[in-house]
A and B are shown apart, each in its own frame.
Chain A
Amino acid sequence: MSEALLSVRGVNRTFGAGPAAVHALRDVSFDVEPGTMVALVGRSGSGKTTLLNVIGGLDRPDSGTVVVDGLDLGGLDEDGLSRLRRERVSYIFQTFGLIPVLSAAENVGVPLRLARAAPAEREQRVALLLDLVGLADHAQQRPGELSGGQQQRVAIARALAASPRLLIADEPTGQLDAETGLAVMALLRGVVESEGVTAVVATHDPVMMALADRVVHIADGHVTP
């Protein structure tokens, strides 16, 4: 068994205090092997998003440790976390989060610009990724000119642009119809395999669960096998 790319140990996260406190995560521990796709499944309010935020360094746990690609996130300051997100972790959001005035290609190139990639290298990588997600012919179109599914494909390409080790997706098909959602799921599965990336995908879509290598259930902040 190879070393885990993601290791979560004894993570707790509580919002608020006193009687009104909400325990979003309670003693959560699990590992994710490199190159696997994990589906994080749970009902609304079960703690999926909180767990993804903690894993991705967008939030800090009250206790416990999160180690990504050998890096303990608890020991990173804001700049360290920024570097982590720039180099090792990428996100795919339910609402896509694209920049409306930039074309699809320019949106995909944003992480490469942050990584100070050379223009030629950037253009080559962008073209490759757009081809990978099937949008080579839509490279110059702006998000407003694309369908929801196409926008999410652009978001996936952008997430892969900086060659991250860990891909975090929070309900990536939440705003898509069933058919488009299925296509996006298939694409995600495909890029995990082709790019060798590890993915943690929060979903309550049964199809996604079927495509995942492993399913982690979460309920009331507890992870159940």
Chain B
Amino acid sequence: MIALHWPSIRGRARADLGPLLLVALVVAAVVLLAGATPPLIRSTSDDATREAVRRAADDAAVRVEAEWPDDYGPTGGRLRTPELAIDVANVGTRAEGELDESLRSALQPPVTSVSSISLAITDGSVQRRLQLEYLSTATGEPAVTWVAGRAPGASTDDEFREIPLNGPPWPVQVGLSETDAAALGVKPGDRIPVQDEQRNPYDVRVTGVFRPADVNDPVWGPAPWVLQPAANRDGFGSTRFGALLTAESVPDARLAFRTDQLRRVVRFDADPAGLTWEKAQALAASVARLKGGSAVSAERDPSLKWSTQLDNVLSDLRDQIASTTAQASVLLIAVLAVALLVIALAADLLTHRRTGALTTARHRGASLPGLATELAVESLAVTVPAALLGLALAFVLAGGAALTWVVPFVVVVVCALPAFGTLAAARATRDRRAPANRSARHWIRRTEVIRRFAVDAAVVALAAASLVALRQRGVGSTVDLPAAAPALGALAVTLLVARLLPLGTGLALRLALRSRRPLALFGAARAAAASSRALPALTLTAALALGSFALTLYATADRGLAEGAWQTTGADARLDLSSGSGSGSADDVAARAAAAPGVRHVVAAQVTENAQFIADNTAVPARLIVVDTAAFRELLADTPLPGLPALPTATDGGPVPALVRTGDGSLSPGVRFSLPVVTNQAIALTAAGTAPALGSGDDVVVIDAGAAGPEYEPNTIWATGPGAADALRKAAPGDRVTVRADLLHDRRTAPLTEGLSRLCLLTAGILLALGLLGFALAAAASAPQRWETLARLRTLGLRPRDTRRVAVGELLPPVVVAALCAPPLGALLGWLTLGPLALRLLTAQATDPVTVTPWWTITVVTVVALAVALPAIVAVEASSRRRRRLSEVLRVGG
């Protein structure tokens, strides 16, 4: 049974109250950070989930489609179904019934639609398309006011009429919105001349023009073109219009179109409110299950077919959250590693202060297990309350606390303090003397060197393994080796540098011996004597290097966001023209914008997202930009975006030259490919050069507007200059203007990026503070010996004021090593590890951002911090000894 000597425990704690409180402070701060970060990541992920689903809007909607049952009548014709709207509503009810509870709670009430194929309007305008739409919700059809004519009705009085299969086009009554009607130039009573791809005509009759009661009513969500014409929905250069069907006219639409030309779809918009990342993951699983159960069949199958991009949206989000979590893990491990080094220095300080007392206790009969238990009790008394305080603060500040990181950290701290003390007591009282035999002493030294080398080699090997693992498989969602790569890398490199430090101080000493300045010699001599301790230099340099890494991560992400905003916008501001807006032609809008003050360049272009090119009989989707390339080149030169190579002039009858860029290399310079267009034959193209990365995706094709022919109809205007945003807004008041600065602000303040940025800065600050604290603790541990030596030098005639300079000289090596090595090491770690951390997922760039090291910030912060800390520590040490006489210092030490 181990007996504890409580007076000794209390006495030691009282004597070392300051260092113990410092340990408690470090434990509380680190536990706060380590405990609060996971819940903060979780809540940030929840915010990001809601934000992503809200922004995805149309892509996040869940769609259910059911094929029509046969409608053959008794005589072999097609039978009109007057209750078709009710049948369609029933599909919605069935779909809702198939949703599990988690999915239903995450989705808004369904909107049911019946949509025709896209028909070409044959009024001479080759690029206009018409789609018939029936829309309804549980509360009925959308509320509209018929400003002209009447609502569409049935085309026949015979509700159950059967029509022949090959009869003339069956008439369908439709309504048009005011905007669509004006753009098409039709009025009630007019017919809209339309035909399908096989040039089959359809009889579409306008019975009324309506005004929606609420343009924001979710019922319009599936078919916004019913309210406003939509550009490029049906391919390059097209504009889609929508015609509204009613419950009375939709049975006629069923007869007017073949079964495969009319789709009935139930759409559930996602409801981001109340959505969390955890729920979203369950949601993604439910959606995947529903989609997986929707087998594609060649047979007519009235069962429900589920489709949505929600799982892809959530998959992208999962990647972003994984990337953020990985970066947070990397930063957290860095803090924990440095905090443990600081704790080791604190334990070393306590050991220095207690060696005498512990040795005396041993001489008086205390056993090592007994001393270890007493020190463990003290350690528990300091560490556990501090950890609980940190956890409580984490609960208050973050709404929760995670123990994943906290428990191992606290366990190591609890063990470190008694381990250091017990080892010191054991060393001080063991009955082992240095052997008199020189070769035996040499062998002991060699064994020590080999042991140290083995430890160093193990750390270096572990760091290398973690780096390789990080570059090969990235960081997982759990605590794993790759996440420790930067911390281990910093420790390994710093350890090697610390091992080389005695060589440097030895060299400095040799130089000082040649010098005639005694202070330089004394400083160098003390530095050489102290440099055999690797821990101070290791802690300070690793802390500052990892702090530099955190700032590098911050700067790289920030620059990446800025470049991503440039790529997405393409200029200072971008205008997306809608076909039906009253802003006039794109050229007019561009001219008005160019004339506005503060605008340097304006370029109009036709941009088609996901244009389908054909290369080598394979469809290649890419962003198509048709633009005046000369003007575009000038505009790009006014931005940080890469320049536009020159395009050769198109030859008569030859393929149109294009600049291409595809992520998978399917389009590369020299390749011939084509672009099918709606009404004409395909446009033949030849890849004449490499296009710069423009837009969020990596696939882009640029052709000159002069070569595009009649298909060229600009829908996008880019502008640069301080007045670009205002100019575009004024030039086209009704259209959407994307302002790069606003986009950048939105992305910077997005939950994940903002959270990561704050964590980077916080981590850098904490690491700097920990590094300086570790340095101060190391200085405090060596202070008694330092000042005793200085006192002895004073007995030889050293002046009191010169002692500070010698003390500074002794403490200088770790500071110099940190100042010289930490910034480049931080940059090196960033260069090695930021790629696998997939920052591009947060910066919305097509490729990984280039590593940006804020050299000035890092250098200034490092140099200023060290330049202030070093003299401050020496001043405090000198001040605390000012009242002590030289004799006192020599009698009791430091």
Nearest Cβ distance between residue A163 and chain B, in whole angstroms? 13
Q: Assess whether B516 is interfacial by the CB under 8 Å rule.
A: yes
A113→B521 contact, CB < 8 A: yes
Nearest Cβ distance between residue A140 and chain B, in whole angstroms? 12
Q: Across chains A and B, which 8 residue pairs bring their CB atoms closest together, nearest first?
A: A86-B797, A53-B887, A59-B887, A113-B518, A58-B887, A97-B792, A58-B886, A101-B528
Contacts of B605 in A (CB 8 A): none
B796→A85 contact, CB < 8 A: yes
Contacts of A93 in B (CB 8 A): 792, 890
Q: Assess whether B477 is interfacial by the CB under 8 Å rule.
A: no
In the bound assembly, the distance between CA atoms of A110 and B799 in angstroms comes to 14
Nearest Cβ distance between residue B635 and chain A, in whole angstroms? 67
B518→A110 contact, CB < 8 A: yes
Known interface pairs A85-B797, A86-B797; A99-B885 also in contact (CB < 8 Å) = no
Residues on A lying within 8 angstroms of B by beta carbon are: 49-50, 53, 56, 58-60, 78-79, 82-83, 85-87, 90-91, 93, 97, 99-102, 106, 110-111, 113-116, 119, 158, 162
A49→B891 contact, CB < 8 A: yes
A-B CB contact pairs (8 Å), 27 listed: A49-B887, A53-B885, A53-B886, A53-B887, A53-B890, A58-B795, A59-B886, A59-B888, A78-B799, A79-B799, A82-B797, A82-B800, A85-B794, A85-B796, A86-B797, A90-B796, A91-B796, A97-B795, A99-B525, A99-B789, A100-B529, A102-B525, A110-B793, A114-B518, A114-B797, A116-B516, A162-B797
In the bound assembly, the distance between CA atoms of A162 and B795 in angstroms comes to 12
Known interface pairs A59-B885, A99-B789, A100-B529; A115-B799 also in contact (CB < 8 Å) = no
Contacts of B798 in A (CB 8 A): 82, 114
Contacts of B887 in A (CB 8 A): 49-50, 53, 58-59
Pick the contact of B525 from A49, A53, A83, A101 — CB < 8 Å?
Answer: A101
Residues on B lying within 8 angstroms of A by beta carbon are: 509, 513, 516, 518, 521-522, 525, 528-529, 789, 792-800, 885-888, 890-891
Chain B, residue nearest A168 (CB): B795
Contacts of B800 in A (CB 8 A): 78-79, 82
Nearest Cβ distance between residue B501 and chain A, in whole angstroms? 13
A111→B796 contact, CB < 8 A: yes
Contacts of A111 in B (CB 8 A): 796-797
Chain B, residue nearest A113 (CB): B518
A91→B795 contact, CB < 8 A: yes
Nearest Cβ distance between residue B837 and chain A, in whole angstroms? 44
Chain B, residue nearest A111 (CB): B796
Secondary structure call for the B interface: helix
In the bound assembly, the distance between CA atoms of A82 and B802 in angstroms comes to 11
A106→B513 contact, CB < 8 A: yes
Nearest Cβ distance between residue A10 and chain B, in whole angstroms? 20
A110→B796 contact, CB < 8 A: yes
In the bound assembly, the distance between CA atoms of A49 and B891 in angstroms comes to 9
List 10 additional A-B contacts (Cβ < 8 Å) besides A99-B529, A102-B525.
Answer: A56-B795, A58-B890, A79-B799, A82-B797, A97-B795, A110-B796, A114-B796, A114-B797, A114-B798, A162-B796
Contacts of A101 in B (CB 8 A): 509, 525, 528-529
Chain B, residue nearest A49 (CB): B891
Nearest Cβ distance between residue A49 and chain B, in whole angstroms? 7
Chain A, residue nearest B517 (CB): A113
In the bound assembly, the distance between CA atoms of A90 and B792 in angstroms comes to 11
Known interface pairs A58-B886, A58-B890; A87-B795 also in contact (CB < 8 Å) = no
In the bound assembly, the distance between CA atoms of A56 and B885 in angstroms comes to 12
Chain B, residue nearest A59 (CB): B887
In the bound assembly, the distance between CA atoms of A158 and B797 in angstroms comes to 12
The CB with the most chain A CB atoms within 10 A, among B528, B792, B891, is that of: B792
Contacts of A91 in B (CB 8 A): 795-796
In the bound assembly, the distance between CA atoms of A86 and B521 in angstroms comes to 17
Contacts of B797 in A (CB 8 A): 82-83, 85-87, 111, 114-115, 162
In the bound assembly, the distance between CA atoms of A58 and B528 in angstroms comes to 28
In the bound assembly, the distance between CA atoms of A103 and B797 in angstroms comes to 20
The CB with the most chain A CB atoms within 10 A, among B529, B789, B795, is that of: B795
Nearest Cβ distance between residue B893 and chain A, in whole angstroms? 10
In the bound assembly, the distance between CA atoms of A26 and B795 in angstroms comes to 25
In the bound assembly, the distance between CA atoms of A119 and B177 in angstroms comes to 103
Pick the contact of B795 from A85, A99, A106, A116 — CB < 8 Å?
Answer: A85
Contacts of A110 in B (CB 8 A): 518, 521, 793, 796
Known interface pairs A82-B794, A113-B521; A58-B516 also in contact (CB < 8 Å) = no
Contacts of A162 in B (CB 8 A): 796-797
Nearest Cβ distance between residue B499 and chain A, in whole angstroms? 17
Contacts of B516 in A (CB 8 A): 113, 116, 119
In the bound assembly, the distance between CA atoms of A158 and B796 in angstroms comes to 9
B796→A86 contact, CB < 8 A: yes
Chain B, residue nearest A85 (CB): B797
Nearest Cβ distance between residue A36 and chain B, in whole angstroms? 22
The CB with the most chain A CB atoms within 10 A, among B518, B796, B890, is that of: B796
In the bound assembly, the distance between CA atoms of A28 and B509 in angstroms comes to 45
Known interface pairs A99-B525, A99-B789; A58-B796 also in contact (CB < 8 Å) = no
Nearest Cβ distance between residue B648 and chain A, in whole angstroms? 74
In the bound assembly, the distance between CA atoms of A99 and B528 in angstroms comes to 11
Contacts of A85 in B (CB 8 A): 794-797
In the bound assembly, the distance between CA atoms of A101 and B888 in angstroms comes to 25
Contacts of A49 in B (CB 8 A): 887, 891
In the bound assembly, the distance between CA atoms of A97 and B176 in angstroms comes to 103
In the bound assembly, the distance between CA atoms of A93 and B513 in angstroms comes to 25
Chain A, residue nearest B795 (CB): A91
In the bound assembly, the distance between CA atoms of A97 and B529 in angstroms comes to 14
Contacts of B795 in A (CB 8 A): 56, 58, 85, 91, 97
Contacts of A86 in B (CB 8 A): 796-797
In the bound assembly, the distance between CA atoms of A78 and B800 in angstroms comes to 7
Chain B, residue nearest A52 (CB): B887
In the bound assembly, the distance between CA atoms of A153 and B518 in angstroms comes to 22
Chain A, residue nearest B509 (CB): A101
In the bound assembly, the distance between CA atoms of A82 and B887 in angstroms comes to 14
Contacts of A82 in B (CB 8 A): 794, 797-800
In the bound assembly, the distance between CA atoms of A53 and B794 in angstroms comes to 13
Nearest Cβ distance between residue A58 and chain B, in whole angstroms? 4
In the bound assembly, the distance between CA atoms of A67 and B378 in angstroms comes to 52
Nearest Cβ distance between residue B788 and chain A, in whole angstroms? 9
Nearest Cβ distance between residue A152 and chain B, in whole angstroms? 14
Chain B, residue nearest A97 (CB): B792
Contacts of A60 in B (CB 8 A): 885
In the bound assembly, the distance between CA atoms of A49 and B509 in angstroms comes to 34
Contacts of B793 in A (CB 8 A): 110
Contacts of A97 in B (CB 8 A): 789, 792, 795
Nearest Cβ distance between residue B515 and chain A, in whole angstroms? 9
In the bound assembly, the distance between CA atoms of A99 and B793 in angstroms comes to 9
Contacts of B789 in A (CB 8 A): 97, 99
Contacts of B792 in A (CB 8 A): 93, 97
Nearest Cβ distance between residue A43 and chain B, in whole angstroms? 17
Nearest Cβ distance between residue A56 and chain B, in whole angstroms? 7
Contacts of B513 in A (CB 8 A): 106
In the bound assembly, the distance between CA atoms of A218 and B17 in angstroms comes to 40
Chain A, residue nearest B514 (CB): A119
Nearest Cβ distance between residue A24 and chain B, in whole angstroms? 10
In the bound assembly, the distance between CA atoms of A44 and B678 in angstroms comes to 111
Contacts of B528 in A (CB 8 A): 101
Nearest Cβ distance between residue B201 and chain A, in whole angstroms? 102
In the bound assembly, the distance between CA atoms of A86 and B799 in angstroms comes to 9
Nearest Cβ distance between residue B605 and chain A, in whole angstroms? 73
Chain A, residue nearest B799 (CB): A82
In the bound assembly, the distance between CA atoms of A59 and B525 in angstroms comes to 27
In the bound assembly, the distance between CA atoms of A73 and B654 in angstroms comes to 108
In the bound assembly, the distance between CA atoms of A162 and B796 in angstroms comes to 9
In the bound assembly, the distance between CA atoms of A91 and B800 in angstroms comes to 17
Chain B, residue nearest A92 (CB): B795
Contacts of A83 in B (CB 8 A): 797
Contacts of A78 in B (CB 8 A): 799-800
In the bound assembly, the distance between CA atoms of A50 and B890 in angstroms comes to 11
In the bound assembly, the distance between CA atoms of A112 and B749 in angstroms comes to 67
